[in-house]
Amino acid sequence: MRRLKLAVLISGRGSNMEALLNAAAADPDFPAQPVLVLSNRPEAAGLKIAEAAGVAAVSIDHKTYGKDREAFEFHVDATLRGANVEVIALAGFMRVLTPWFVKRWEGRMINIHPSLLPKHKGLDTHQRAIDAGDAEAGCSVHWVSAGVDEGEIIAQARVPILTGDTADSLAARTLPEEHRLYPEALKIACKKILEDMTDG
Ligand code: GAR
């Protein structure tokens, strides 16, 4: 099976990125081959994980570009294209992308978000789920579209919210579900991209 060249964009810890790399390494039929891990923060711990796994790891520090988001993204885009990337997985990448970048990678870029979208878009998702009195929380993988956390949902996983939960305890219950869900959702996304390529 053809494997799409995958870039994973991170900003920090990189545990979801690691789950994707592990899934791709464990299964010869996994439809994506990680070729690049890119962080907007040079100090991101995930970069070392990628290097240890033998995947090219680069940082492009967004701070260097000040308020010029497009100049930052132009550099990111050129780096991705230089590595012949075909699909992007955002994994804890904490920069909002401009419509220009989103349009350029439309149908080729997915994101994982720690809530049951459309609930709790944006930040502080676990605290907001608790404060709202929700009975359950979870995570969603979705196609990236112009609106933040608004693209079509590919897959979701649910966890209960328990009495006494804090944002940290809920995050800890959700994270293993993220690690399970993201590789499965990436498979679905790659299948769709490959079908679209074949259709022409
Ligand atoms: C994950 O929980 C991910 O869902 C979340 O950041 C964490 C990154 O952890 N993403 C967002 O909040 C995006 N809006 P990781 O670096 O260990 O994968």
The CB-side HSE value for 189 (13 A sphere, CA atoms) comes to 31
- Catalytic positions are 113
Per-residue confidence (pLDDT) for residue 12, from 0 to 100: 98
Q: Rg of the chain over CA atoms, in angstroms?
A: 16
Per-residue confidence (pLDDT) for residue 110, from 0 to 100: 98
Please report which helix (H) or strand (E) contains residue 199, including its range: helix 167-199
Positions of the chain with pLDDT under 70:
none
Asked if residue 114 has its Cβ within 6 Å of ligand 1, the reply is: yes
Contact indicator for 107, 144 with CB cutoff of 8 Å: no
The Å distance, Cα 200 to ligand 1 centre, comes to 34
User: Which of 146, 49, 51, 130 lies closest to 92 in space, CA to CA?
Assistant: 49
* CA dist., res. 81 & res. 91, Å (int): 19
Asked if residue 112 has its Cβ within 6 Å of ligand 1, the reply is: yes
* Predicted confidence (pLDDT) per residue in 27-70, tens digit: 999 999 999 999 999 999 999 999 999 999 999 999 999 999 99
Which residues, 6+ apart, have CB-to-CB distance to 72 below 8 Å?
40, 60, 62, 64, 65, 95
Asked if residue 11 has its Cβ within 6 Å of ligand 1, the reply is: no
Per-residue confidence (pLDDT) for residue 199, from 0 to 100: 83
> What topology does CATH give the domain 4-199?
Rossmann fold (3.40.50)
- Exposure string of 73-89, with b = 16+ CB inside 10 Å and e = fewer, is beebbebbeebebbbbb
Tokens for 92? 């804890």
* CA dist., res. 31 & res. 181, Å (int): 15
Looking at the DSSP bridge assignments, the partners of residue 138 are 158
Asked if residue 12 has its Cβ within 6 Å of ligand 1, the reply is: yes
| Mutation probe of ligand 1 site: the residue of 15, 93, 140 with most atoms within 8 A of C-beta | 15
Atom of ligand 1 nearest to the CA of 11: 16
Please report which helix (H) or strand (E) contains residue 24, including its range: helix 15-26
Ligand 1 atom 14 nearest Cα: 113
Query: How would DSSP label each residue in 140-158?
Result: EEEE--SSTT-SPEEEEEE
Per-residue confidence (pLDDT) for residue 1, from 0 to 100: 74
